[in-house]
Amino acid sequence: MGDPPLKKEKEPSYSAFTQQQLPACKPLLTPIVVVIVFFTLGVVFIPIGAIALSASRSVVEVVKRYDDHPDCTRCLSAEGVIGECSSNSDRDESLYNTVNGTGYNCTIEIEIEDKMEKPVYMYYELNNFYQNHRRYVKSRSDEQLRGEDPSSSVIGEKCDPKKYQNEDNEEETDIINPCGLVAWSYFNDTYSATRTTTGGDASDVVIDETGIAWKSDVDDKFDDYKATNFNNIPEVRGGGEMGGDKTVNKDEHFIVWMRTATLPNFRKLWGKIDMDLEKGDKLTFVVSNRYNTYRFSGKKKIVLSTTTWLGGKNDFLGIAYLVVGAFCLSLGLVFLAIYLKNPRNLGDASHLSWEKAKRKNLG
């Protein structure tokens, strides 16, 4: 018997889709189109940049550094003698010599140079603090913050090196909650202020410390429970406590701190002042100088700022739009000049290399 006849494969039916012949927009990038595109980008970007820069420049901002202020750099020895601190190491040691390591109060005065319309936002600013360090960012337990009860192995993996209050006694009752470096380094300077007008009238300034954290963080990422074994030993304290009746999701300063910053110089919202501040007013801040930036040569600042529809003071966006818009206009002018000087018809084959060679041979 012979071999069975081969089955003839079915040929695919013709279609515009299988042959990749669907209609499509195929614009011709002619010199005029290029010039129009660059001019359009320039005409659009420059006004946007001007508006954004104008909005940023209308923000009134006052910045006052206080970690090096004479009233905040007093040295307290172990014997309780107050003197002058000449170096950061002395200031570092002085903070730990205060009662229970709670720091001391100092007075900072800020003069308002331009009228600030309410609401006036108050921030604290830290410099040279690397919250973006990989080990620092990873050292936290989101399950713990949500009120779950993760096992010791999970805590040990996520919260290293700040997982137990006593590292030599790894017991369940010794677990820090909330654990990790981010929580342990919680910023704990506090502020109160009084206002003195140009007429000499003095009054307390109410700083509203509610509503400063993201609502999604308060509702979904932090549970209503009290902290345990958290920064309650002065000798090894890393930052602030959450004492009293305050629970984790009620401490909005803590929630703001836990949203780590991208850059080593950053600001975090402390509160809002719901009153206009007139030019010439003086704000006297009583600062509880507790947070030890002297150990890592950092800086601490108080920032008062108004806002616009674009946010706070930031000239970068406006300048970027202006630069890109000016660059596009410049390129459009250059391309237009080249086109006018050396025009070329669409589809002109005389500029091809072999056509030029043919003319040269014939010439």
Answer whether residue 168 shows pLDDT above 90: no
Give the model confidence (pLDDT) of 216-227 as tens digits.
998 889 988 888
Q: Is the pLDDT score of 8 beyond 70?
A: no
Q: Which long-range contacts (CB under 8 A, 24 or more apart) does 307-312 make?
A: 307/59, 307/119, 307/121, 308/55, 308/56, 308/58, 308/59, 309/55, 310/52, 310/55, 310/56, 312/59, 312/61, 312/121
Q: Does residue 266 carry a pLDDT above 80?
A: yes
Contacts of 323 (CB under 8 A, 6+ apart): 49
Q: What integer pLDDT is reported at residue 224 of this predicted model?
A: 87
Residue 13: pLDDT over 60? yes
pLDDT tens sequence across 84-99: 676 777 777 776 666 5
Q: What is the pLDDT of residues 42-71, one digit of tens each?
A: 999 999 999 999 999 999 999 999 988 888
What pLDDT is stored for residue 297 in this prediction? 87
Task: List the single range of 7-11, 211-215, 272-276, 349-353 with lowest mean pLDDT.
Answer: 7-11
Burial degree of 347 (CB within 10 A; 0-12, 13-18, 19+): exposed
Average pLDDT, rounded, for the chain: 84
Contact (CB, 8 A) for 85 and 73: yes
Kindly indicate the confidence band of residue 289, based on its pLDDT and cuts at 50, 70 and 90. Answer: confident
